Amino acid sequence: MEPREQNHLFDTVEAPRLRIRTPSGQVSVESDETAETTVELEALRNDEVTRSAIEHATVERRGNEIVIEIGKQGWGFLGRSPEVGIRVRCPHGSALDCTTASADVEADGRLGETSVKTASGDIELSHVGGTLRVHSASGDVRVESIDGEAQVKTVSGDVRVGVARSGLSANLVSGDLEVDEAHSDVSVNTVSGDQQVRSICTGQINLQSVSGDVQVGVAPGTRIFIDASSTTGDVSSALDVTDTPSASAVGDEAKLRLKSVSGDIAIVRGRPAEVS
């Protein structure tokens, strides 16, 4: 009988780099205060294709890299892809490099440098302590907090970011983007998706859309310079806007460049920025 489950244990005093390749299924990563990395493979569907994929899977250590690869044995043009659950428990700060076709990817705890590429899988990350790179076609992306610079590209998936502490760049076609709080530069381009950045306090804020609406909230005490225009949409501001900033104004400074063709643009009052 071919295996339906495999378990692997590696000593990793230093946070490793996780390299994961899988066509479908589920990828779950949990970081913790530990000096070990454990990898569990589980069959999510009881069929020959999935059992064979687990039997022939690659799970090995290469220097400071833990490699997890689910092959294509038994699937392809006329078959179904294997449904394998990959569960990893690793030290805080571990880097993640994950590529999949349709597997959902989720991570709890604090990761280091993170890169995820997927076609249709959803991505949900708790805390990225390093840089973040995400490429997705139709999957949704949700990240609670990002310490390093972030780049997100999707076609039809929605993007939701809690706190972006460094530069954030996002390109979407029809998906919507929401950011609760941005502490630095933000650059967003969408075609038909809406954009909402609830609170900014400093940096260059460039938001551009063709037909989507754009809304940005400005944290209290922030001096802003505004360049906002929409060809056929409405432009509004809930803030007192003058030609020159007050001579007594102090604190953070942000430059807003907001552009849309047919969408509405709104500048509103944002919540105070939390201390990093």
**150 phi and psi angles, rounded to 5 deg:** -130, 140
Q: Domain range for residue 82?
A: 1-130
- Say if 33 falls within a structural domain: yes
**151-to-50, 216, 251, 273 alpha-carbon distances in Å:** 33, 19, 28, 22
**50 phi and psi angles, rounded to 5 deg:** -70, -45
Number of domains in the chain: 1
Asked if residue 74 lies in contact with residue 84, where contact means CB atoms within 8 angstroms, the answer is: no
Asked if residue 38 lies in contact with residue 59, where contact means CB atoms within 8 angstroms, the answer is: no
Q: In percent, how much of the chain has pLDDT > 70?
A: 91
Amino acid of residue 166: S
- Say if 85 falls within a structural domain: yes
Rounded distance between C-alpha atoms, residue 52 and residue 42, angstroms? 12
Give the pLDDT of residue 192: 95
Give the SS3 label for residue 138: coil
DSSP 275: P
- Say if 140 falls within a structural domain: no
- Say if 169 falls within a structural domain: no
As a whole number of Å, the CA-based R_g of the chain is: 22
- Please give the model's pTM, rounded to 2 decimal places: 0.92
Rounded distance between C-alpha atoms, residue 173 and residue 153, angstroms? 9
**Cβ of 211: how many Cβ atoms within 10 Å?**
16
Residues 6+ apart with CB under 8 A from 92: 15, 31, 32, 33, 109, 110, 129
Rounded distance between C-alpha atoms, residue 149 and residue 151, angstroms? 7
Give the pLDDT of residue 272: 84
The predicted-structure confidence for 183-240, as pLDDT tens digits, reads as follows 999 999 999 999 999 999 999 999 999 999 999 999 998 999 999 999 999 999 998 7
- Say if 48 falls within a structural domain: yes
**49 phi and psi angles, rounded to 5 deg:** -60, -45
Which of 23-32, 77-86, 166-175, 242-251 is predicted least confidently? 242-251
- Say if 239 falls within a structural domain: no
Rounded distance between C-alpha atoms, residue 271 and residue 202, angstroms? 13
Asked if residue 16 lies in contact with residue 94, where contact means CB atoms within 8 angstroms, the answer is: yes
How far does the chain reach from its first CA to its final CA, in angstroms?
A: 53
The predicted-structure confidence for 98-143, as pLDDT tens digits, reads as follows 999 999 999 999 999 999 999 999 999 999 999 999 999 999 999 9
